[in-house]
Amino acid sequence: MTPANPIRLAVAPELDPAAVPRPALPAISMKRVDVAFQSKAGPVQALAGLDLTIEKQEFVSIVGPSGCGKSTVLRVVSGLLKPSAGEVRVLGSEAEEARLYRSFGFVFQSSVMLPWLTALENVELPLEVIGRQAQKPPISPAKLLEMVGLKGYEHLYPRQLSGGMRQRVAIARALSFDPPVLLMDEPFAAVDALTRQKLHALLLEVWNNARKTVLFITHDVYEAVMLSDRILVMSGSPGHIEHEIAIDLPRPRVPGLKSHPRYLSLCSRILDLLIHEA
């Protein structure tokens, strides 16, 4: 006899693996990374067990005491320094592969402009190296210089530019081949306070428009809070991430934000953490 209300078993449809959503890869991932150097006094452990994840389009700053390994982190991410242990990934690729894929642009503390090239020629240099036909930039080098406020200065040489202007050229050059990631190693440390404020505004505008992933190294807590989505505080001997602070300030960031109680509270908290780590 057939039951009046037979139970019907639901059979799950066969899934197409290509249709199954996969979690997005982070822009930068470091897992249990160690870096050790050999010195005359013996081995030096620069980084130990460092874990770090930065999502795409996120702006993350690293602060910490001098010598804690902040710049070492950037060198490892860029593939310029091979870790002693651990795994480093940039957009899913190993760091050295990501460098070959031109996944990131680099801005150093010094602008590192070639003195025999004009501002425009310095911005064009990465395109000359990789070949113009290999990758056509969405924004021309001349337009990039205009975006960083250097229209009319294209044909001047580095000796004819101020320190702040040279750093603007360095930012334009790092963006010239449209990398998805920007690595910035204390890029504004060598300029005066007023120029630094202008460069902050410039970088925020670039980030708001292009939404690059940014890993930013700085000693300046106030700078880090103004620019970042998150701040990672490193401790030294050996270096590792000790604290992570979310910066819950509204965007776009404007100069008046610096008088906001929440901004001042975040700066004070991070300064206290740095004093403790030092």
pLDDT 10s digit of each residue in the chain, 278 long? 555 554 444 444 455 555 555 567 899 999 999 999 888 888 889 999 999 999 999 999 999 998 899 999 999 999 999 999 999 999 999 999 998 888 999 998 888 899 999 999 999 998 887 765 555 667 899 999 998 889 999 999 999 999 999 999 999 999 998 999 999 999 998 888 888 898 999 899 989 888 999 999 999 999 999 999 999 999 987 999 999 999 999 999 988 899 999 999 999 999 999 988 76
- Same domain? For 195 and 235 the reply is yes
Q: Is 164 helix (H, G, I), strand (E, B) or coil?
A: helix
The model's pTM is 0.87
Cβ-based neighbours of 98, under 8 Å, separated by 6 or more: 79, 89, 90, 91, 104, 181
Length of the chain: 278
Q: Residue 227's domain is classified under what CATH number?
A: 3.40.50.300
Domain presence at residue 12: no
Reduced to 3 states, what is the DSSP secondary structure of residue 14?
coil
Per-residue confidence (pLDDT) for residue 101, from 0 to 100: 86
One domain, residues 231 and 149? no
DSSP class of 161:
S
Domain limit, last residue, from 178, 209, 229: 178
Judge if 160 and 87 occupy the same domain.
Answer: no
Residue 3 inside a domain? The answer is: no
Q: How many CB atoms lie within 10 A of CB 42?
A: 7
| Segments forming the whole domain that contains residue 126 | 110-178
Amino acid identity of residue 138, one-letter, is P
Kindly state whether residues 32 and 81 are assigned to the same domain.
yes
Which residues does 191 contact at the CB level (< 8 Å), separation at least 6? 163, 164, 167, 199
Question: What confidence score (pLDDT) does residue 166 get?
Answer: 94
Q: How far apart are CA 267 and CA 246, in angstroms?
A: 12
How much is the pLDDT for 119?
96
Residues 257 and 200 in one domain: yes
What is the predicted pLDDT for the residue at 12? 40
pLDDT value at position 94? Answer: 93
Q: Is the peptide bond before 252 cis (omega within 30 degrees of 0)?
A: yes
Q: Are residues 95 and 123 in the same domain?
A: no
Establish if 44 belongs to a structural domain. yes
**pLDDT given for residue 52 in this prediction:** 95
Q: Distance (Å, rounded) from C-alpha 47 to C-alpha 61?
A: 17
pLDDT score recorded for residue 19: 54
Query: Are residues 116 and 252 part of one domain?
Result: no
Question: Would 8 be classed as within a structural domain?
Answer: no
Residue 243 belongs to some domain of the structure: yes
> Are 242 and 132 within one domain?
no
Which residues make Cβ contacts (< 8 Å) with residue 66, sequence separation at least 6?
219
Residue 276 domain-assigned (yes or no): yes
- Among the candidates 129, 157, 178, a domain finishes at 178
Under a CB-based contact definition with an 8 Å cutoff, are residues 186 and 109 in contact? yes
Are 32 and 166 members of one domain?
no
Same domain? For 209 and 269 the reply is yes
The whole-number pLDDT of residue 268 equals 97
Torsion of CA 21, 22, 24, 29, to 10 degrees: 170
Task: Scan for tokens 């008046």, then name that residue.
Answer: 256
49 found inside a domain:
yes
194-220: b (≥16 Cβ within 10 Å) or e: ebbbbbbbbbbebbeebebbbbbbbeb
> Do 190 and 277 reside in the same domain of the chain?
yes
* pLDDT for the residue 9: 42
Contacts of 261 (CB under 8 A, 6+ apart): none
**Structural domains of the chain, count:** 2
Q: Mark which of 135, 152, 178 sits at the end of a domain.
A: 178
Same domain, 211 and 75: yes
